[in-house]
Structure 1
């Protein structure tokens, strides 16, 4: 949000005016970074899902998506981290391409949840659309508080997967014990 072009130029090992050779304005640069972040994340997720064995359960596919989202956003892509952290802070006029990518990304998650629901791996008292938003919101928020000095991404992924699995899993129905038949002699 408060990044200056001189900061970007220094990071890219360029003189600040050289950035204008590639981007007409600071806003164009921001839009390109945000689009690239969402696009890369969507493409990476789809590639990882496509690489899973065909017999992978819908829940395991969903948990793979959790891992991809966290690893890509926290370890692999500064673009994705920028898109996740700053998407709500950029002006509406800069969001058009990013919104299309976000919609495509959300469709992948919708299909994952729909498959898990169809397979009976999701509680029937949950709205899958709300569950999806809650999951992605929680995963995105980790970019704000996760500190690699405190614990690894591996630990974060395992915890997030357990949280998602147990939050979505059908609730075990309590065993209703049948009342024992009473013996007429007992009723005296």
Structure 2
């Protein structure tokens, strides 16, 4: 088969790890970006490689130089979605002043998660919306990343509990699942024409302040 035309731009881009990418890596990233866009809107069953190629402005056979199959491409999108929201939240937490309280770190993580999920990344939306649609085998890589991300939230809640900022009767495990579940579900129903992202972030932070935290004196 002849090598398909690739009109990739010459400007370097960054990989997930932050390194300058080669032309081949940029093309792969472009395919992933387009797959995330299509998957977040059409779902697992409706995602076709021809649509991914059209969105990426590439010839469809180009995809097979980077991914062996549609499912391999979707598996990678699902993992990237989980990994990037995790990385974004970690970066936002790392930027906080050292004296930030554990409760305020949770509130920052809430905002970072929702902004990335709903405003910044098609990947995260695609990963969340298709978690129960893709075959179980395609979920394993993303699920492993999600488990690491869940530990971050468990540590945040435990730190706030140890600091005496959460209700002593609070079930950390259940609360973590409810909070993450509520934020992830927002990808299905949030509409910026009905309420702003700032309103949604504020309401979610209030769930933490008034449903999980001790009353502030």
In structure 1, what is the Cα distance between the partners aligned to 2:209 and 2:135? 36
Deviation at 1:17?
A: 2.2
Specify every segment of 5 or more residues in structure 1 that has no aligned partner in the other structure, as ranges.
173-188
In structure 1, what is the Cα distance between the partners aligned to 2:204 and 2:113? 11
Deviation at 1:16?
A: 2.1
Could you say which residue in structure 2 is the equivalent of 1:122?
Answer: 166
Deviation at 1:171?
A: 5.9
Q: How does 1:33-182 map to 2 (within 5 A)?
A: 33-170=77-214
TM-score (norm 1): 0.87
Once the two structures are overlaid, the 10-residue window that deviates more, 118-127 or 129-138, is 118-127
Could you say which residue in structure 1 is the equivalent of 2:67?
Answer: 23
Q: Which runs of 4+ in 1 moved over 2 A?
A: none
- Alpha-carbon deviations, 1:130-184, whole Å to 9, x = none? 0000000000010000012222211211111112211102369xxxxxxxxxxxx
In structure 1, what is the Cα distance between the partners aligned to 2:170 and 2:139? 30
TM-score (norm 2): 0.76
- Alpha-carbon deviations, 1:12-57, whole Å to 9, x = none? 1122222112110000000010011111111111111111111111
In structure 2, what is the Cα distance between the partners aligned to 1:165 and 1:158? 10
What RMSD over aligned residues (CA atoms) do the two structures have, in Å? 1.3
**Which structure carries more relative contact order (alpha carbon 8 Å, separation 6+)?**
1
In structure 1, what is the Cα distance between the partners aligned to 2:103 and 2:214? 12
Specify every segment of 5 or more residues in structure 2 that has no aligned partner in the other structure, as ranges.
1-43
Counterpart of 1:87 in 2: which secondary structure? coil
Deviation at 1:95?
A: 1.8
Could you say which residue in structure 2 is the equivalent of 1:8?
Answer: 52
- Count of equivalent residues: 172
